[in-house]
Amino acid sequence: MDYKNSGVDIEAGYKSVELMKKHIKRTMRPEVLGGIGGFSGAFDMKPFMGMEEPTLVSGTDGCGTKVKLAFVMDKHDTIGIDAVAMCVNDIACAGGEPLFFLDYIACGKNIPEKIATIVGGVAEGCVQSECALIGGETAEHPDLMPVDEYDIAGFAVGIVDKKDMITGANIKPGDTIIGIASSGVHSNGFSLVRKIFPMTKESLDTYYDELGTTLGEALIAPTRIYVKALKNVKKAGVTVKGCSHITGGGFYENIPRMLPEGIRAVIEKNSYEVPALFKLMAKEGDVSEHVMYNTYNMGIGMMLVVDPADVDAAMKALSEAGEKAYVIGKTISGDKGVDIC
């Protein structure tokens, strides 16, 4: 008896690392010290010592049950983007610049080519957010997970000068709320998605005219990464007073997280066109409007609060960063919360 006979293939692990090295190389930053294969990743902080009060910000998350979709579609090249996005978008919400990312993949069986494909997606997410993939772990879990399934999670660290942190403390009545378009469902609410639509190849391969693609391709579209967009807004000289990443809990849970006490957000739901995918989900699942806004991003993946005088500059900066953005609401005096009207 040996380790391989018990279900853990060490040689497959070695091969996975070799196959993923070309992807990891794409993400390198000059601050990364050493290479892949050590017991830890090292990152030089000296380039940031010019900040008045350098402050580390971090985020950790996974992709939830969206991975089930990847299994059925046998498509594993974008789920890693989701894992990165869920972490670095949270860091961007604090005004931070993501520096590095580490991934954790648990699988029933280590199939090197599949693991390398997943990590290729992680690397793409890191390239999009300009952070380095400096380490990770692939763990085989025989008898705990089916051989053809896996889960992925990640952890990111970023930096921001304390004076530049986005805290929401300076939000006042009459400020403007800007919404930045999402790329779809992103990585939240898939437990409900899987109740609305059968997770079968036939169902996911069905083409919908209103979507302009198959259901599966629309659902698996990777989470949009907003790091460069936020950097561009800052570069334009705009002060972002508050920022909300619209993840699980939708509008009702996430918008209040950026508000101080005594401030309420008012969102005008007709200020932009809700994407067809969300309309289809509501119709096919007989999901109420309140539940939709309490579960999904409804086409808005990130929200910013800015002074009315900065709206034009912010909108221009977002457009130059390749984002679709809309003025979707304002702040008023009242109990901390949100009204959608």
Pair 225, 154: CB distance under 8 Å = no
Checking if the pLDDT of 15 tops 90, the result is no
CA–CA separation, 341 and 338 (whole Å)? 10
Listed in sequence order, the residues at least 6 apart from 85 whose beta carbon sits closer than 8 Å to its beta carbon are 125, 129, 186, 187, 222, 223, 224, 225
pLDDT band at residue 3 under the 50/70/90 scheme: low
Delimit the domains of the chain by residue range: 10-164, 176-340
Homologous superfamily (CATH) for 176-340:
PurM-like C-terminal domain (3.90.650.10)
Checking if the pLDDT of 31 tops 90, the result is yes
Q: What is the pLDDT of residues 293-316, one digit of tens each?
A: 999 999 999 999 999 999 999 999
Kindly report the length of the chain: 341
Three-state DSSP class for residue 71: helix
CA–CA separation, 214 and 206 (whole Å)? 5
- CA torsion 28-31-36-42 (nearest 10°) is -150
Q: What is the pLDDT of residues 222-253, one digit of tens each?
A: 999 999 999 999 999 999 999 999 999 999 99
How many secondary structure helices (H) and strands (E) does the chain include? Answer: 12, 14
How crowded is residue 236: how many other Cβ atoms within 10 Å of its Cβ? Answer: 16
Homologous superfamily (CATH) for 10-164:
PurM-like, N-terminal domain (3.30.1330.10)
